[in-house]
Structure 1
Amino acid sequence: MRLLTVVLLLLWALLGKCSEPPSDVLSCSYQISNILREIKDVLTSTSGRCSSDGERDERLVGIERETVSQAVRQHGEVVRSLLAQTESLKKAVTSVAEVQSAHKQLLIALRTELESEKQTKRTQRRTIQDLRSEIHTLREESKNWQEHLRRMESEMKAGLQKTELAAQEATIEVKGASDRANSLGRVIRRVQRSMHSLEKIVTQHTTRLAALTARGRGRRPPPQHSLPTLPSTEMPQTGEEVDCPHPYTRIGLGCFAVHSTQRLSWEQARQHCRGIDGDLANPDDIYDVVLFLDDSFPESVYSTSGGWGFWIGATLDNTGTWQWVSGLPVRTQVDFWGRGEPGDAQENDEGCLFLHGWWRFRAGADPCTSEKYFICERKVN
């Protein structure tokens, strides 16, 4: 009975030692082994003494042994469970160590990133300070430029006012010069007409004088072609007694029809003139026609009525020479072309001649497909 008490006490001590999770699992296992060894020694030492007690106690000892064996087996299972838990704890400790190591590395990375972020912020602060300084400089420069632009604007306004005044004065001078030139042109045209008439009269008197001289000497008068007469292209062979058929009107020394209500291309205008027994105007003296148009379409009218001009019978050939429809070359006299005309007419395909109202009916070149008013002429012998 005392043996059973001793064994139970040892088992109770064993359970007391390992009932809570030990701080060191190996030491707990070692203590369990020692207790089991003590139990075995007790049982061995008491087996001899208990043999004399008779068969009565043998049955009790067997029961106690069976109980102790069961307790030992249970405690063996507990030990195996503790060993398994020890392995799990080792693995957990290893995992915890790895996690701690990862945490340390993460902390190091976070510290590095934090330091980099601090450096970036310091750089950004410096950049912001530089930008503020640059903005301040730009504002100062902008103020200076604005002031400079204001001064320039004032100077430009003053210069424009002076230029406008000068332009007005120049316009007045140009207008006066233009008026003087127009007046001079009219005088020149009238003088030319007078010269033609005078040449005609001189020619007639020369012919008569030659005839009278020949009669006085008893000779025949010299042939008509030997007299100093003007070419037929400069004056008609008949006198001023020419009657122009309808719809032609006497202008200078020729018969002309001015069409100022219908606009056609150059070729269409020529066909129209041929349909009334004439052709596009190719006058012996173009200034007679110009003077007539200038008198018929004054400045207040030609800006609208004559703004498109009048086709006349002259074209540009392949050699760059202007020719009348009669085949004779156009004589470009003083004050013949308008301002800037004819320019590069051949390159610009401006091969037909016209009289433009904006230039006081001076000559200009334009594409033959343009539609304009036109002037017809009928040659009368």
Structure 2
Amino acid sequence: MNQQERVSPGTAAPAEGSSCSRLSPWVFLASALAVKTALMTVGLVVLFHRSCGQYKTLPENAQGWQCIPGGSASQKDSWKCCPEGWRPFQESCYYFSDDQMPWNESQQNCSGMDSQLVVINTKAEQDFIYKEIGRQMKYQQHSINLYIGLRAQEVGQWRWADQTPYNETAAFWRSGEPSDIPEEMCVVISYHKDIFRNWNDVPCRIRSYRICENAAVTL
């Protein structure tokens, strides 16, 4: 050993790992961040893959869908979906027309889309329809009539288009209606802002907008 390499007694040799010891906390932090980033990336990829897998089950000829969460505890991972141009609410999809027809033609038009004129069973459904009419820009006028699936075969004997029994407690007639006269056997929503109870019986031949309803697709 030459003189330059000899270590004097009582002098500690340089610690080769001292620089690594000072860096180790930073190395640990960088590693933890890298692991966290990797886990987040994997999670996003899995979520994206799952979503894509759901929508691949839809009909290939559908151009687009509008979906809302299934809602119930047993369906927490499911979606209620409607075709483009239809609005989802609970278990159904709703179509609000751009054109006007008499009641019979309105029902036929809905049938051609595998639906029917809307059947309103609850206050919540009436509230949804009332708000949706007010939301849609195409209906921004003083008042508007939209056919629903309620009509009478005889005066005062109301029946829904799908044969659902008429329930007086879930009816939302405008004040003074129905008039129960032979000339007015079909029902419209006569929309006016701030008037929630807005059903009105009218002659079935008048041309009105319409609301169609069909079942939502569950994914």
TM-score w.r.t. structure 2 length?
0.55
CA distance in 2, matches of 1:296, 1:266: 19
Of 324, 330, 354, the match for 2:188? 354
The equivalent residue for 2:207 is 371
| Alignment pair present for 1:279 and 2:83 | no
After TM superposition, give the deviation of residue 379 of structure 1 in Å: 2.3
After TM superposition, give the deviation of residue 357 of structure 1 in Å: 0.9
The equivalent residue for 1:263 is 100
Gaps of at least 5 residues in structure 1 are 1-196, 205-236
Gaps of at least 5 residues in structure 2 are 1-70
**Max radius of gyration: which structure?**
1
The equivalent residue for 2:161 is 325
CA distance in 1, matches of 2:120, 2:77: 16
SS class of match (1:309): strand
Query: Per residue, is there more helix in 1 or in 2?
Result: 1
Aligned pairs (5 A) from 1:214-293:
241-259=79-97, 261-285=98-122, 287-293=124-130
Contact 1:252/1:289 (8 A) holds in 2: no
Contact 2:121/2:170 (8 A) holds in 1: no
After TM superposition, give the deviation of residue 326 of structure 1 in Å: 0.9
The equivalent residue for 1:294 is 131
CA distance in 1, matches of 2:126, 2:104: 20
Identity of aligned residues (%): 21
Query: Per residue, is there more strand in 1 or in 2?
Result: 2
* Two-structure CA RMSD over aligned residues (Å): 3.3
CA distance in 1, matches of 2:156, 2:76: 34
Alignment size in residue pairs = 144
| Alignment pair present for 1:339 and 2:175 | yes
After TM superposition, give the deviation of residue 288 of structure 1 in Å: 2.1
After TM superposition, give the deviation of residue 256 of structure 1 in Å: 0.6
CA distance in 1, matches of 2:85, 2:176: 35
After TM superposition, give the deviation of residue 302 of structure 1 in Å: 5.9
CA distance in 1, matches of 2:77, 2:161: 24
| Alignment pair present for 1:308 and 2:144 | yes
TM-score w.r.t. structure 1 length?
0.33
Distance 1:247 1:303, change over 3 A: closer
- Amino acid in structure 2 at the alignment position of 1:277: D
> Which structure would you say has the larger RCO, counting Cα contacts within 8 Å and 6 or more residues apart?
2
- Amino acid in structure 2 at the alignment position of 1:378: N
CA distance in 1, matches of 2:168, 2:77: 26
Deviations 1:232-279 (A, max 9, x none): xxxxx99962211234220243111011x3111111111111111211
